[in-house]
Structure 1
Amino acid sequence: MSADHSGTTTRAARPLAWLPIRPEEIEDLPGGLEYAYWNGEPDFPTDPARVVFYAAPYMKGDEVCTRPLPLMPNLRVLQALTAGVENLLPAVSSLPSGAKLCNARGLHDASTAELALTLTLAALRDIPGFVRAQDAGEWRHGFRPALADRSVLIVGYGSIGSAIEDRLAPFECARVARVARSARTTARGRVHPVSALPGLLPEADVVILATPLTEETRGLVDAGFLARMKDGALLVNVARGAVVRTGALLAELESGRLRAALDVTDPEPLPPGHPLWSAPGVLVTPHVGGPSSAYFSRAKALLRDQLARFVLDEPLRNVVVAAD
Structure 2
Amino acid sequence: MTADVWLPIPPDEIEGLPEGPAYRFWDGSGDFPADPADCAFYVVPYMKPSPLCVRPLPLMSSVQVVQTLSAGIDHVEPGLRDLRDGVRLCNARGVHEASTAELTLALVLASLRGIPDFVRAQDRGEWLGGFRPALADKNVLIVGYGSIGAAIEDRLVPFEVARVARVARSERTTARGPVHPLTALPSLLPEADVVILSTPLTEDTRGLVDSGFLARMKDGALLVNVARGPVVDTKALLAEVESGRLTAALDVTDPEPLPRDHPLWRAPGVLVSPHAGGPTSAFPPRAARLLADQLSRFVNREPLRNVILTTGAPRA
CA contact (8 A) 1:111 1:294 kept: yes
| Contact in 1 for aligned 2:53/2:75 (Cα 8 Å) | no
1:30-63 CA deviation, whole Å, 9 max, x = no partner? 1221111111121122222211001011012112
Contact 1:76 1:96 in 2 (8 A): no
- Is the aligned partner of 1:211 residue 2:199? yes
Count of residue pairs the alignment pairs up: 312
Letter of the 1:76 partner, please give it. Answer: Q
Q: Describe how 1:300-319 pairs up with structure 2 within 5 A.
A: 300-319=288-307
CA offsets per residue over residues 118-148 of structure 1, 9 Å max, x none?
A: 0000000000000000001101111110000
Within the alignment, does 1:271 sit opposite 2:259 as a pair?
Answer: yes
Structure 1 residue 64, shift from structure 2 partner = 1.6
AA at the equivalent of 1:293: S
TM-score by length of 1: 0.95
Other structure's SS at 1:195 match: helix
Where do 4+ consecutive residues of structure 1 move more than 6 Å?
A: none
Equivalence for 1:285: 273
The 5 A counterparts of 1:124-203 are 124-203=112-191
Amino acid at match of 1:30: P
| Equivalent residue, structure 2, for 1:102 | 90
* Aligned amino acid, residue 238 of structure 2: L
Which protein has the larger Cα radius of gyration, Structure 1 or Structure 2? 1
AA partner of residue 73 (structure 2): V
Local SS of the residue matching 2:140: strand
Shift of 1:96: 2.3
Give 1:196 deviation, angstroms: 0.9
Letter matched to residue 300 of structure 1: A
Query: Over residues 149-168 of structure 1, what are the superposed CA-to-partner deviations in whole Å (9 max), with x where a residue is unaligned?
Result: 11111000000000000000
Residues 56-77 of structure 1, C-alpha deviation per residue, up to 9 Å, x if partnerless? 1101211221111122111111
Cα RMSD for the two superposed structures: 1.0
Q: Distance in 1 between the 2:170 and 2:84 partners?
A: 32
Unaligned stretches of 5+ residues in structure 1? 1-12
The answer (yes or no) to whether the contact 2:90–2:306 under 8 Å persists in 1 is yes
CA deviation profile, 1:80-120 (whole Å, cap 9, x unmatched): 11111111112111112211111112211110000100000
Contact 1:53/1:75, CA 8 A, preserved across alignment: yes
What CA distance in whole angstroms lies between the structure 2 residues aligned with 1:194 and 1:261? 22
Q: Alignment partner of 2:292: what SS?
A: helix
Would you say 1:31 and 2:23 are equivalent positions? Answer: no
Equivalents in 2 of 1:245, 1:207: separation in Å? 15
Residue 197 of structure 1 deviates from its aligned partner by 0.8
Q: Is the 8 A contact 1:212 1:239 kept in 2?
A: yes
For residues 151 and 267 of structure 1, the distance between their equivalents in structure 2, rounded to whole angstroms, comes to 29
CA distance in 2, matches of 1:167, 1:322: 33
Counterpart position of 1:234: 222
- 1:35 match: secondary structure: strand
Contact 1:29 1:304 in 2 (8 A): yes
Distance 1:169 1:245 in 2: 30
- Which has the larger displacement, 117-126 or 55-64? 55-64
Task: Name the counterpart of 2:63.
Answer: 75
- Tell me if structure 2 keeps the 8 A contact 1:160–1:210: yes
Separation in structure 1 between the aligned mates of residue 59 and residue 37 of structure 2, nearest angstrom: 6
Letter in 1 for 2:32: F
1:20 has 2:33 as partner: no
Structure 2, gaps ≥5 residues long: none
- In 2, the alpha carbon distance for the partners of 1:164 and 1:135 equals 32
What CA distance in whole angstroms lies between the structure 1 residues aligned with 2:228 and 2:29? Answer: 26
TM (normalized to structure 2)?
0.97
The separation in 2 between residues aligned to 1:88 and 1:62, in whole angstroms, is: 6
Given that residues 92 and 322 in structure 1 are in contact (C-alpha distance below 8 angstroms), is that contact kept between their aligned partners in structure 2?
no
| 3-state SS, counterpart of residue 285 of structure 2 | helix
> SS in structure 1 opposite 2:80?
helix
